[in-house]
Structure 1
Amino acid sequence: MGRMDGKVSIVTGGAMGIGEAIVRFLAREGSNVVVSDINEAKGRAVAESTGKKALFVRHDVSDENQWIGIIEKTLSVFGRLDVLVNNAGIVQVSDVEQTTMADWRAVHAVHMDGTFLGCKHAIPAMRQTGGGSIVNMSSTAAIGGYPKVFAYSASKGAIRAMTKSIAVHCAQMRNHIRCNSVHPGTIETPLVRQFLEAVADDPTVPDHQKDPMRGTPEDVANMVLFLASDESRHVNGAEFLIDNTTTITEGIVPK
Structure 2
Amino acid sequence: MTTTQHTSSSPTSIPTGRVADRVVIVTGGARGIGAACVRSLVAEGALVVVADVLADEATALVAELGERTAYVPLDVTSEEGWQQAVAAAEERFGPVWGLVNNAGIVHVDPIETLSEADYRRVIDVNQVGVFLGMKAVIGSMRRGGGGSIVNISSTGGLVAYSRILGYVASKWAVRGMTKTAAQELGPDGIRVNSVHPGIVASEMTASSSRSHEQVRTQPLARAADPSEIGALVLFLVSEESSYSTGSEFVADGGFTSL
1:197-226 deviation line (CA, Å, top 9, x unaligned): xxx4xxxx6972386621110110010000
Q: 1:131 & 1:206 partners in 2: Cα distance?
A: 38
* Aligned positions of 1:94-113 closer than 5 A: 94-113=109-128
1:180 aligns with 2:219: no
Report if the CA contact (8 A) 1:17-1:190 is conserved.
no
How many pairs are equivalent? 239
Report if the CA contact (8 A) 2:205-2:211 is conserved.
no
Question: Where does structure 2 lack aligned partners over 5 or more consecutive residues?
Answer: 1-15
Give the TM-score, by structure 1 length. 0.90
Partner amino acid for 2:98?
V
Aligned to 1:49: 64
Which of the residues 128, 144, 164 maps onto 2:159? 144
Structure 2 SS opposite 1:165: helix
C-alpha deviation, 1:193, in angstroms: 4.2
Q: 1:184 & 1:143 partners in 2: Cα distance?
A: 10
Report if the CA contact (8 A) 1:140-1:184 is conserved.
yes
Report if the CA contact (8 A) 2:215-2:223 is conserved.
no
1:65 aligns with 2:61: no
Aligned to 2:257: 248
Q: 1:163 & 1:188 partners in 2: Cα distance?
A: 26
Aligned to 1:123: 138
1:29 aligns with 2:34: no
Which of the residues 5, 14, 27 maps onto 2:29? 14
Structure 2 SS opposite 1:136: strand
C-alpha deviation, 1:79, in angstroms: 1.5
Which of the residues 230, 236, 257 maps onto 1:221? 230
Structure 2 SS opposite 1:80: coil
Question: Where does structure 1 lack aligned partners over 5 or more consecutive residues?
Answer: 250-255
Partner amino acid for 2:131?
F
Q: CA 1:188 to 1:169, structure 2 compared with 1: closer, same or farther past 3 Å? A: same
Which of the residues 133, 148, 151 maps onto 1:133? 148
Q: CA 1:223 to 1:210, structure 2 compared with 1: closer, same or farther past 3 Å? A: closer
Aligned to 1:169: 184
Report if the CA contact (8 A) 1:18-1:189 is conserved.
no
CA RMSD of aligned residues (A): 1.5
Structure 1 SS opposite 2:245: coil
C-alpha deviation, 1:119, in angstroms: 0.1
Q: 2:91 & 2:212 partners in 1: Cα distance?
A: 51
C-alpha deviation, 1:6, in angstroms: 1.6
Q: CA 1:190 to 1:106, structure 2 compared with 1: closer, same or farther past 3 Å? A: farther
1:189 aligns with 2:206: no
1:165-196 deviation line (CA, Å, top 9, x unaligned): 0001112xx100000000000001244347x1
Q: 1:40 & 1:193 partners in 2: Cα distance?
A: 24
Structure 2 SS opposite 1:183: strand
1:204-253 deviation line (CA, Å, top 9, x unaligned): x697238662111011001000000011111100101100111122xxxx
Q: 2:114 & 2:94 partners in 1: Cα distance?
A: 43
Give the TM-score, by structure 2 length. 0.89
* Aligned positions of 1:81-92 closer than 5 A: 81-92=96-107
Instruction: Give aligned-pair identity as a percent.
Output: 41
C-alpha deviation, 1:101, in angstroms: 0.6
Partner amino acid for 2:229?
V
Q: 1:91 & 1:52 partners in 2: Cα distance?
A: 33
